[in-house]
Amino acid sequence: MKLVTENLFDAMNISAADFPAEQRELAAAHLHAAPSVRIKAPRVAEAQASLECKLFSAQLLCANTLFIGEVVMFHVADHLIGPRLHINNFAPIGRLGSPSVYCCTTDRFDVARVTYAQWLRDNN
């Protein structure tokens, strides 16, 4: 699984088409394969972040199948790594619903975490 950013959105949409089994989606979307470490299937080389997953279960939902995976490896582009993940240069697109509802993650805000002591003070 890859985390899709705006520059890969069109390619992602192409790769989701119902290609015949002999057609390679990556080639059709002008993307490249990179070897995975823990699974046989390759990952998308252009993705800034990707997850290697093993199938946990497959659930039939009407005419579709929901695949649930166990993440066994996480790949992140070097420019995003530091003491913390540098998210200012990373804006993955979220899928909100089927078949075609998406959102951007560029509208961000920062909220300080509440400590347990603060929570106790406010709730007693």
Question: Does the pTM exceed 0.85?
Answer: no
Is 6-122 in CATH node 3.40.190.10? Answer: no
Write down the pLDDT at residue 56.
97
Would you call 6 helix, strand, or coil by DSSP? helix
Note the helical H segments in the chain: 9-15, 25-28, 116-122
**Domain ranges across the chain:** 6-122
Tens of pLDDT, residue by residue over 8-52, are 999 999 988 899 999 999 999 999 999 999 999 999 999 999 999
Q: How confident is the model at residue 97 (pLDDT cuts 50, 70, 90)?
A: confident
Residues 39/53, Cβ–Cβ less than 8 Å: yes
CA 60, CA 104: separation in Å to the nearest integer? 28
